[in-house]
Structure formats: C-alpha cells, structure tokens
Structure 1
Amino acid sequence: MSSSTTSQDDKNAALTTMVYVVDDDESMREAVSMLLRSVGLAVATFGTAQEFLAYDMPDVPSCLILDVRLKGQSGLAVQEQIAESQLGLPIVFMTAHGDIAMTVKAMKAGATDFLAKPFRDQDMLDAVTHALARDEERREVSRVVGDLRRCYDSLTAREREVMAFVAAGLMNKQIAGEMNLSEITVKIHRGQAMRKMGARSLADFVLKAEALGVKPPQSNATVAARGTRA
C-alpha cells in the first residue's frame, strides 16, 4: 500500500485535475502533497511505480511528479512505460542525484520539467501548473480529433475517396477523371462530405483531412498536384 493516497474529500469532490506523486521517500511525498494541497490541488501519492501504474486514474487533466531514483526501478524506466502505454501523462521529474545527461534524456523523452532537490516551492507549483495546462491541451486536441474521426466514419467510401483527392489538391475535373465519374457527381460527393465533416470552407475541409491523416490515393494527378504545391 502507498503511504498516502487520495483523501476522502478528494474522492467525494468533482475532480477537475489530479496530480500524482511517486517517490520512495515518505517525507518527500508528504511534503510535496502538502504543498500541492495548499493551493487546492487533488493529489495521490505512491511509494512505488507499480502502485501508481495499477491505480485507477480519473479521466481529468493530470500530471505525474516522479523521482528519478526509485527502489527497484528508475524514474526514466517508468517514463518509458508510460510512453508505451500511450497515457500521454506529462511528467515533472525531481531528483537529488541528477546530472546533465539524465536531464537531457528525460526532456527528450517528453518530460515537462526536471527539478533538483531541494527545490523552491514556487518552482514546483509553476512546473505542475505548466504540466496540467499541457495535459488539458493534449486532451482538447484528442477530443477534437475524436469528433472528426466520428464524422469521417459517417462518410461513404466514395465520399472518403473524394476527400482524399481534395486534400491532395486535385480539382473536381481531375477527381472525376481519377474516379471515372462525372464532374457533377464529384461535386455532389464533395458537398455531402463537407457537410458531414462540418467543414465551413474548402480550406477547412482540407485541414480536417490533414488532421485525420487522410492519405491521398497515388495517381499521376496527385503526384502532379503535390509537385505543383511544392
């Protein structure tokens, strides 16, 4: 069991954010937890990475404060596990034994901050504020892409093909030639696809296709279109 977990008040409250602290030093866990709670943040603390990874995390903007040197497993190894699990959780590292190489490795792997112990309270609060804002932004992007994906799933196969050609920069006449359709039929498919995708303009339609990673079909016309844009 961890020496400190989310308080009953935290559990009963409608959480808007959550901060996790993983450190095998109980006094450090308590100190960081008290600091964060003093500014109204909900906190869950853990003595081991295994306890944290097994925790049922609420679906709210969150961040992890992680000690680099843990018993049995390094914080950098935990960072790799989190990346592999695609949690997307921003990490603030803290350590009393850091070095430049370790800091660089952690930051390259996506850490938002790397604080040396002892750190100033304000530095930790600033790091957590930045990490939570980053997670909120990530979640918003994920929600937008999720909405786009649901709209895209509602398109017919023809409409998806037209969308891909439009994203590649082809004109209606060129698309008609590629798909062996009349130009008016292409216009109808494009209009229906734009409506289903909620696109306000052709440019918006293309941006949505790019956000979804829609790949244009390979053809002489698409190759020529990309060459022209380049």
Structure 2
Amino acid sequence: MSDNGLIHIVDDDRAVREGLGFLLGSLGLETETHSSALAFLDALDATATVGCILADVRMPGMSGLELLDELAQRQCPLPVIMITGHGDVPMAVKAMRAGAMDFFEKPVQGMALIERIKEALELSRSRSHEAFERAEIATRIESLTAREAEVARAVVKGLQNKQIAHDLGISQKTVEIHRHNAMEKLGARSAADLVRLVMAAGWDS
C-alpha cells in the first residue's frame, strides 16, 4: 500500500465496484474491491492505518450498517463513507450515528465523492499520526522507574516539588532528581510539555 492510503470499495454490485475503481484509479488513488462485507473483513489488514472504506448499505449477508457496527467493535480507525441506491433520511441518520463519515446516494456525484474521499484520507493520516505518537509516548512511559512514574504523575496533577516530597516521604532533592530523569526519558522540556505528552498518550494521572 502506498503512503497515500488504500480505498476499500465494498459493494455486491460488480459494475459499481469496477466503475468506482476506474474513477479513483484514474486519479492516481489506490483501490481494492470487495464483493461483500464479510469478504472485506476477511481481507482487512489489522495493521492498516491509512485509508478509507466506501461501503454499500444494502448487501446480501452482512449489511453496510452491520459492517459499521463490526468495524466499531474492532476499533478500526479507517473512516467509512456509505453509498446506497435506496437511501432515505432515517437510514442516513442511522449510518451517521453508527460512525459513518458521510452518506451518498447512487448515482453518486463523482466530484463530491472524490472530495469527501480526500478528506477521509487526510483524517486517516491524522489518526495514524496520533496513534503513532501515543504508542511512542507509551513506550517512553514504560521506561520510567516506579518512583519516576509517581513523581511524573504528581507533576501532571500540578503539585510542586515540596508537596510531592511530603506526599511520597522523600527529600525534595530526590524529587528533583526523579523529576529530571522522568522528563528526560519522556522528552518533556517543561511541566506543561509533560502534561501534553501524558494527555496524548492517554496516561491516567
């Protein structure tokens, strides 16, 4: 898969799959087609981080809405755009509430869909970057000693070195050493930077 991301086209209608594949391919976008939701799930690479999904709502077996639910359970980060030939307002609302990024009726207006796909790919790249950052910071956090982690948590809570020393029953000088070591390991230049890093990692302070 290229760095630009992979667009998954999930539709039981072969003509639709081929038509969308040709349209997007002509713009230099990489696509992969799937004849059913189950076929797509079987082929889905759990490590894929950049891309998006175009899925028909009404398909034999697992429907597009059921696919949305399954993707949510798997915590799939790829944005989903729903397409249907039998759209109505309640269905669109249900799809959006289930996590769809947008909803298009067939025949799809090519330029409008392309613009939305580009936005979906940009969103996917942003999510991928954030996930990478969280994983990197989590690895740094795991490198902290138990005492360094205690001091870092206290700093994130806004406590001063004197209060941290009192709460942990250690000297203020020892707190300063652990604080320095923790910030160095985490790559934090200041207490504010430490808070930002911790929040980005989702570390419970």
Q: In which range does the TM-score fall when normalised by the shorter chain? A: over 0.9
Q: Percent identity?
A: 39
The correspondence of residues 210-225 of structure 1 with structure 2, limited to 5 A, is 210-216=199-205
Tell me which amino acid in the other structure corresponds to 2:117: V
Cα deviation code 1:96-145 (max 9, x no counterpart): 11222221222222211111111211011111111111110000000111
**Equivalent residues of 1:22, 1:52 under 8 A apart:** yes
Matched, 1:37 2:25: yes
Q: Is the 8 A contact 1:15 1:60 kept in 2?
A: no
Taking structure 1 as reference, are residues 193 and 43 closer, same or farther at Cα in structure 2, changes over 3 Å only? same
Q: Which runs of 5+ in 2 are unaligned?
A: none
Distance 2:159 2:50 in 1: 40
Q: Which residue of 2 aligns with 1:161?
A: 150
Is contact 2:4-2:121 (8 Å) kept?
A: no
Q: What 5-or-longer segments of structure 1 have no aligned partner?
A: 1-12, 217-230
Counterpart for residue 129 of structure 1: 118
Aligned match of 1:94? 83
Match of 1:140 among 129, 143, 153: 129
Report SS of the residue matched to 1:70: coil
* Contact 1:16/1:60 (<8 A) preserved: no
1:25 aligns with 2:13: yes
Mark the CA change 1:14 to 1:124 in structure 2 (over 3 Å): closer, same or farther: closer
Distance of 2:52 and 2:199 partners within structure 1: 29
Give the RMSD, CA atoms, in angstroms. 1.5
Q: What are the superposed Cα offsets for residues 30-78 of structure 1, whole Å, 9 maximum, x if unpaired?
A: 1111111010111111111111111153735111000000112210100
Q: Which amino acid aligns with 1:166?
A: V
Task: Select the residue among 94, 98, 102 that pairs with 1:105.
Answer: 94
